Amino acid sequence: MSRVLTILVATLLMIGSANADDHISFEESNIWIATQLEFNQLGDDQKFAAALTNLMNSELGQKFPGTTSLNWLMVNGDNPKTHGLVNLFPSMAASSAWNSVFWTGGSPEVATWLKVWSETVKSSREIAYSRVASWGSLTNPNPTSETIPFYTDNLPALVSRFEQWMQTKTAKKFKGQVSIHQCAYCGDLENNALFVVSHNTSKELDEWRAIYRTSKDFASWIADANELAELANANLIYRMATFSVNSKELL
């Protein structure tokens, strides 16, 4: 059955920055919340970015129990949202602890942040995912990422097949990080999972595209993937800023 997939998950990518080795890794408790942003006018994105930097460098921001990233949605079809704010937490408990201190702590930093938000953001929408598996690692904290949303009724089988592909000679030439994410709270989205393919540089992205386009291993993987899932078109994202605080103070 054909599904029209609304591309909201492009904010993510931030998520691929955590290091992993060449083998599959499962992280069951993590949660990341992506807020896609449409700004009022040209230049508001810079005001927003500056305010985020101030918040994350403040006393309150240094208590953040995770990683925050700001992304530019470079190519995302007809989606009017141009940027994404992503908060990655190790668990729902960490997310709840942050929300409690943020909304009830009476911090002046929060008041300043919310003022800038109200002045610059025209519309926003939140979704939440959990990372279920990842391969590879990154050396650049602000990579260029491709995201591919998809719908599947059998995510374990797809993850298992992707693990097989990642062990091929072709896949071992991949220099970045790839991860699979499962929808946790996505409202009326028709996709329920997401690939994030992150590259340290645009040059590495070009090199990888040249490698997999002629690969029989990759062609075999894609054929199987299309049997297991309904894949949407890819989006291109650049991570503008990353704040890897990961404080344990609130936990």
Residue 233 has pLDDT above 60, yes or no: yes
Over residues 76-118, the pLDDT tens digits come to 666 778 899 999 999 999 999 999 999 998 899 999 999 999 9
Complete DSSP assignment for 77-104? TT----EEEEEEESSHHHHHHHHHHHHH
Confidence (pLDDT) at 7? 33
Residue 26 has pLDDT above 90, yes or no: no
The rounded distance, in Å, linking the Cα atoms of 152 and 229 is 4
**Above pLDDT 70, what percent of the chain?**
87
Element (H or E) spanning 8, and its range?
A: none
- β-pairing, 235-244 with 67-75? antiparallel
Threshold 0.75, pTM exceeds: yes
Residue 74 has pLDDT above 70, yes or no: yes
Sign, Cα dihedral of 16, 20, 25, 26: negative
Residue-averaged pLDDT of the chain: 87
What is residue 124's three-state secondary structure? strand
**Partners of 197 in the beta sheet?**
146, 178
The whole-number average pLDDT for the span 192-214 is: 95
**Above pLDDT 90, what percent of the chain?**
77
What are the residue boundaries of the structural domains of the chain, listed by start? 9-244
Confidence (pLDDT) at 76? 67
Judge: domain 9-244, CATH 3.30.70.100. Answer: yes
Residue 152 has pLDDT above 90, yes or no: yes
